[in-house]
Amino acid sequence: MDPQAQRTVACHELLHIARRDWPWIVVEEIARALFWFHPAVWLLIERIQVSREELVDRLVVTRIPSKRAYMAALLAFADGGRGPLTLATAFLRRRHLRSRLQKLGKESVMSRRRIGWTTASLVCVMAGSIAITVMALPLGSPIPNATHPQQVVDGKDPGVTLPKLVSEVKPQYTPEAMTARIEGTVLLTAVVRTDGIPRDVEITQSLDTEYGLDNQAVTALGQWRFEPGRKDGKAVPVRIAIEMRFSLKK
Whether residue 20 sits in one domain with residue 100: yes
pLDDT for position 137: 63
- Percentage of the chain lying above the pLDDT 90 cut: 21
Whether residue 167 sits in one domain with residue 94: no
pLDDT for position 96: 67
Contacts of residue 211, Cβ cutoff 8 Å, sequence gap at least 6: 174, 176, 177, 180, 182
Instruction: Identify which has the larger pLDDT, 89 or 21.
Output: 21
Classify 146 as helix, strand or coil: coil
Whether residue 232 sits in one domain with residue 158: yes
Residue 189 covered by a domain: yes
Residue 112 covered by a domain: no
Whether residue 167 sits in one domain with residue 74: no
The CATH code of the domain that includes 161 is: 3.30.2420.10
Residue 111 covered by a domain: no
Give the separation between CA 238 and CA 152, rounded to whole angstroms: 6
Confidence category of residue 13, pLDDT binned at 50, 70, 90 = confident
Q: Which domain holds residue 10?
A: 3-106
Beta-ladder partners of 223: none
Residue 133 covered by a domain: no
pTM: 0.41
Inform me whether the pLDDT recorded for 184 exceeds 70. yes
Contacts of residue 127, Cβ cutoff 8 Å, sequence gap at least 6: none
Confidence category of residue 93, pLDDT binned at 50, 70, 90 = low
Average pLDDT value for residue range 129-135? 74
Name the average pLDDT for the chain.
79
Confidence category of residue 63, pLDDT binned at 50, 70, 90 = confident
Q: Which 8-state DSSP code applies to residue 84? A: G
Give the separation between CA 2 and CA 74, rounded to whole angstroms: 13
Contacts of residue 212, Cβ cutoff 8 Å, sequence gap at least 6: 174, 176, 177
Confidence category of residue 50, pLDDT binned at 50, 70, 90 = confident
Residue 97 covered by a domain: yes
- Domain boundary residue among 36, 71, 106? 106
Residue 236 covered by a domain: yes
How many domains, the chain? 2
Residue 78 covered by a domain: yes
Residue 82 covered by a domain: yes
Whether residue 158 sits in one domain with residue 95: no
